[in-house]
Structure 1
Amino acid sequence: MDLRKVLEDLASGKISVEEALRRIRLFSIEYIENVIRFDVGRELRRDVPEIVFGEGKSVENLEKILVSVVPRSGRVIVSRLTNEQIAYLENAKFEDFEIFINKRGRIAVVKKKDFDIPKYDCRVGVVAAGTADIGVAEEAKVVVEQMGCETVSIYDVGVAGFHRVLEALKILKERDVDVAIVVAGMEGALPSVVASLIDVPVIGVPTSVGYGAGGEGLAALYSMLQACPLGLAVVNIDNGVNAGVVAGLIGRRISLYKQKCVSVERT
């Protein structure tokens, strides 16, 4: 795509602003040494932040991505960080970038110092069944917050102590969350319980916590997929990133709906 031609057509009135935006969103790709083809238009096109999967990438390639993309997109989220990548980011010296690292979630945000995260009127509950599930929950939490929603985190509330589940549900109700992410390993029962007792969408995230038959998250995944309560959707094993993105998109739409309702009331 010739960006100059799009801008010239826009300036001459041949195309509308909406058409120019559509063309730019559709073809925005960054080529980095014929090794990486990065979709720098993802956030513009889908309202989803730029997210890089860290595993399998060398520190050198990660640095190339950050140096090339952050100045254009404003920020990059790096998920599934390796220990080597965490050490690199902890010691990296970027003059114009800020780096936030969540070691437990193995996720980082690298952004320009003047980049402002958008804020929306939405709240997302992030619930983890056990302490071993917190890493995936933290991954989801970072993504949700980068998408502009407030999070309400409640950890270690698995069904082994059912009174803790009831306490967590009370908090979610009191904080009036718009959607809940529920992370669980082992038999993966918690999302079903939460979905049966709360009136908002629930996103179940099975984790690879477990042992024996159905270990590595399979038992939790199958349990959630076979769940009886309606309103429960399930992402893949350990996929906190996708759970965070889905919750953030739901939250944003709810926020826009609230704004429209306020505008109608004022008119």
Structure 2
Amino acid sequence: MNTTPLKIIAMIPARYAATRFPAKLMQDLNGKTVILRTYEAAKNTGLFEEVYVVTDSDIIYSEITENGGKAIMSKKEHQCGSDRIAEAVEDMDVDIVVNVQGDEPMIDMGSLEKVLDVFRGQDAEKIDLASLKAPIKEWKDVENPNHVKVVTNKEDFALYFSRSPIPYPREKEAGVTWFKHIGIYAFRKQALLDFQRLPMLGLEAAEKIEAIRYLEYGKNIKMVETNVKGVGIDTPEDLERARQLFS
């Protein structure tokens, strides 16, 4: 078991443009923008030595820095959050980097703690990154391609992620639990740097799920079960739901 203190930071990748809901991170969420709410929620967990928003947008950069937060401007265009974070942490002295989704302002501290604990556990040396999974109760959610599913081995290492129903139930009473992937990641710094220089392969390109790249190149992803689904803001309806929860 690893007892050496780990230097842990949080990075919140934040694009201004979003395909389904443009400028969603700058929408008002009960008096503060979505991105500022997320930044403050990450800070308030007390789990990180530092929290940064890393962005390609002057508007988001100003929103964070003018409210006393720390932000980093990306130097170049990036295809995904992992690439954006990798560039930002390249010269930082850190052990674990947590990717907090900018559109999930309701951070569950208990789930985050469970993810970070695996890097202090028995098989810590085998873990390149860790993430969360939550049981899916409704078949319509299993079928929904916007909900990424994950299957794991008996040690809870990820075998595959898919937008399709995995495992596929050949019989009605299959007796399995389906799991949704919750997109909070905790990376070893080296795994992030490796990701940045490895080209996208076919499975990731087909599914449009960046976690698959780690699997395709042999990285070990430890999955941690949670019952907290989080509130991701992908649509105006999600934003309205989040406003009601904050009220």
Q: TM-score range by the shorter chain?
A: under 0.3
Higher relative contact order, structure no. (Cα contacts within 8 Å, ≥ 6 residues apart): 2
Scaled by the length of structure 2, the TM-score of the pair is 0.28
Larger Rg: 1
Structure with bigger helix share is 1
Scaled by the length of structure 1, the TM-score of the pair is 0.26
